[in-house]
Amino acid sequence: DAKTTQPTSMDCAEGRAANLPCNHSTISGNEYVYWYRQIHSQGPQYIIHGLKNNETNEMASLIITEDRKSSTLILPHATLRDTAVYYCIVRAPHINYGGSQGNLIFGKGTKLSVKP
Amino acid sequence: SAVISQKPSRDICQRGTSLTIQCQVDSQVTMMFWYRQQPGQSLTLIATANQGSEATYESGFVIDKFPISRPNLTFSTLTVSNMSPEDSSIYLCSVERGEFNTEAFFGQGTRLTVV
């Protein structure tokens, strides 16, 4: 079973920031938080990941609470093309680095609808 | 990044037949996976494709139904055997380099309809 909880759906106005929450209260010390998204009829696309510090890349920002029990993915200026299902996943590093196999376990995700 | 080519992109098959899906990566990768996404559902991991050895299957999936091959570090196949309408799904190939703290890349999927 997925180790995360996300809202089923969210709406966001085009051009505004989209803030997608994720709860992972049972996260272990060596587990990372990953975000992927799946645009309709396409394979999932990697967005960002982090351990405990906030992370930012060209797509999004990831804010992880100090206790690491929850996180928020921020799309700073949402566009219509950001409409997708967003998956929050926790996983351990690869087995060669002291973690588990680290398989991705997908939950149901959040369906984000960006509206004009 | 890794570019993944999956073939076929879609197919309509008769029940009782088998379909083999191919996954080709543009570079060598350590880890290859096969997922299933049933209509309106999330992704479920079928198995990890191991080079030169038998695949590792997740609970609920068996080799007789979903035989997997991985002859080298850039190619894998998944066969859906003795198909029934319940096998109608999108099947996705995923790869990872197996290095520390890296992301997974996914193919565009094979949309299978069994009639």
Q: Is B3 left (phi over 0), alpha (psi -120 to 50) or beta?
A: beta
Question: Given pLDDT bands bounded at 50, 70 and 90, which one contains residue B18?
Answer: very high
| B60-76 mean pLDDT | 95
User: At A97, phi and psi to the nearest 5?
Assistant: -120, 30
B5 CB within 8 Å of a chain A CB: no
Q: Report which residue type is found at A105.
A: I
pLDDT of A29 reads: 85
Question: Given pLDDT bands bounded at 50, 70 and 90, which one contains residue B100?
Answer: low
pLDDT of A112 reads: 98
Distance between A12 CA and the closest CA of chain B, angstroms:
22
Instruction: Give, as one character, the DSSP assignment of residue B14.
Output: -
pLDDT of B84 reads: 97
pLDDT of B4 reads: 94
Q: Does position B98 have pLDDT exceeding 70, yes or no?
A: no
* Between B85 and A91, the higher pLDDT residue: B85
Sheet of A84-91, strands arranged across: A9-13, A110-115, A84-91, A32-38, A45-50
- Reduce the DSSP state of residue A7 to 3 states and report it: coil
pLDDT-wise least confident of A7-21, A58-72, B49-63: B49-63
Instruction: Give, as one character, the DSSP assignment of residue B58.
Output: P
pLDDT tens digits, residue range A40-72? 889 999 999 999 989 999 999 999 999 999 999
Calculate what percentage of chain B has a pLDDT beyond 70. Answer: 97
pLDDT of A95 reads: 60
B86 CB within 8 Å of a chain A CB: no
| B28-32 mean pLDDT | 86
Question: Given pLDDT bands bounded at 50, 70 and 90, which one contains residue B69?
Answer: very high
Pair of tokens at residue B10 = 């879609």
Between CA A91 and CA A94, with CA A92 as vertex, the angle to 5 degrees is 120
Calculate what percentage of chain A has a pLDDT beyond 90. Answer: 74
pLDDT tens digits, residue range A93-107? 666 555 555 678 889
Pair of tokens at residue A22 = 């994720």
Question: Given pLDDT bands bounded at 50, 70 and 90, which one contains residue B80?
Answer: very high
User: Is the separation of the CB atoms in B6 and B93 below 8 Å?
Assistant: yes
CA gap B32, A42 in Å, rounded: 18
CA gap B60, B58 in Å, rounded: 6
Residue of A nearest to B1 (CA): A46
The verdict on a CB contact (< 8 Å) between A103 and B109 is no
Q: Could you tell me which of B48, B41, B2 has the C-alpha nearest to residue B24?
A: B2
What is the average pLDDT value for chain B, to the nearest integer? 92
pLDDT of B104 reads: 87
What is the average pLDDT value for chain A, to the nearest integer? 90
pLDDT of A2 reads: 63
Which residues of A touch chain B, with CB atoms under 8 Å apart?
32, 34, 36, 42-46, 49, 87, 93-94, 96-97, 101, 103-109
